[in-house]
Amino acid sequence: MGEPGIQSKQCTEKYYRMSEYALEDLSSMMSTNVESPYHLCQLSYPLLTASGNGSIVFVASIAGIKALTRLSAYAATKSAVIQISKNLACEWAKDGIRRNTVTPWAVNTGVKVENDDHSDDFRQLIGLIPIRRIAEPNEISSLVTFLCLPAASYINGQVVSVDGGFTVSSF
């Protein structure tokens, strides 16, 4: 449905110009990417406080910290997650709960992009990664695991990019 002339797209298909998104698309992404982790934090707060040594790690996206074309709605949701994480890092530290965010770039999820309408754009972006490849899932999960360990007990409120150098490269 959406606005006149705008078809609603799947939430996972996020590479569109802002003028092409239907309101339902933004609402769906906000619900999934912002409201869900927000409410999960609210629900877990009593348990994490009781533990005396809680840790929450959000997984956002490079899109939440770096402007990229055709990702406006998606980027807005990931930026919101990053800001919520920073605020909770300050608010909940006194309760023994640390908050950090991991921001991956492209990750090998097994989804093939060769026949995708955006495969050329994707290949160009991968070419901008200094390491010249996408991340493997274990390269993200190992950082998330570390941030939850006692060895990371003084790390709080950080946004850590796992992007092969993408955000620091000058293209």
Tokens standing for 73? Answer: 């709605």
Alpha-carbon Rg for the chain in angstroms: 17
Paired strand residues for 103? 161
Which of the residues 16, 45, 74, 154 is marked catalytic? 74
Amino acid at 39: H
Tokens standing for 110? Answer: 């097994």
Neighbour count for residue 26 (Cβ, 10 Å): 18
Percent composition of the chain: helix, strand, coil (DSSP 3-state, to 5): 50, 10, 40
Cα 110–Cα 70–Cα 14 angle in degrees, nearest 5: 45
Annotated catalytic residue 74: yes
Active site residues: 74
